[in-house]
A = this chain, B = another copy of it.
Amino acid sequence: MRLYEETLESNTIYEGKIITLKRDKVKLENGNIAYREVVNHSGGVGVIALNENGEIYMVKQFRYPYKKTILEIPAGKLNKGEDPLECGKRELCEECGVKAKNYISLGEIYPSTGYVDEVIHLYLATSLSKSQQKLDDDEFLDVLILPFEKVVKMVMSGEITDSKTVSAVLKTDYLIKNTDLLK
């Protein structure tokens, strides 16, 4: 079969809190044997929350893999079996203390297709109202409210790098400029 790899064996190397690592033996389309390292993740949700003044909510937090603070849209990890939209609503409320009446799907992104199986669901939230922020005891972040047009410029200048944020911001910018969805 063209463009297909058959799993011959699947071996779990590590089962952690956030990820599981597997090393699978596969048969390639030319019959050769290869090994694939795969990081399993339950999936994530990111929400771009746009208020009536044309501003969006952003969170700044220390991201340990990069050993620095990173500016992102509010987001979180899907619990097993959880509906992505419900997860997005929960995370927006917990991280930013915001609820929204309207949610528009911005689709899904696959962060790094070679070795990760995570799917990140993206939503645009509008008609916002205040709610109660509920951070975990060990969760630390700053909430920033920034003009959407400024965030677009930060994406284009390379100041914002997080892939779900880049995708959600530029998809929203496209919708604003090319459709009536946000009129």
A112–B116 touching, CB < 8 Å:
yes
Interchain CA distance A15-B39 in the complex, whole Å? 13
- 1/0 contact string of A14-36 vs chain B (CB within 8 Å): 10111101011010111010111
Residues of chain B with a CB closer than 8 A to A112's CB: 41, 44, 111-112, 116, 118, 120, 163-164
- 1/0 contact string of A106-119 vs chain B (CB within 8 Å): 01111111111111
- For chain A, the bracket of interface size reads 35 or more
B65–A38 touching, CB < 8 Å:
yes
Q: Is the interface of A mostly helix, strand, loop or mixed?
A: mixed
- Is A166 part of the contact surface with B, judged by Cβ < 8 Å? yes
A70–B110 touching, CB < 8 Å:
yes
- Asked, given contacts A18-B37, A30-B137, whether A161 binds B109 with beta carbons under 8 Å apart, the answer is yes
Given contacts A39-B65, A44-B112, 9 further A-B contacts (CB under 8 A): A3-B62, A16-B37, A39-B115, A70-B113, A112-B118, A113-B162, A152-B174, A166-B167, A166-B171
Q: Can you name 30 A-B residue pairings with CB atoms under 8 Å?
A: A3-B60, A5-B64, A14-B21, A16-B23, A17-B37, A18-B37, A18-B114, A21-B39, A28-B140, A29-B140, A30-B137, A34-B138, A39-B39, A39-B115, A44-B114, A65-B113, A107-B156, A107-B161, A108-B158, A108-B161, A109-B166, A111-B163, A112-B164, A116-B116, A120-B163, A156-B175, A163-B164, A166-B166, A166-B167, A177-B177
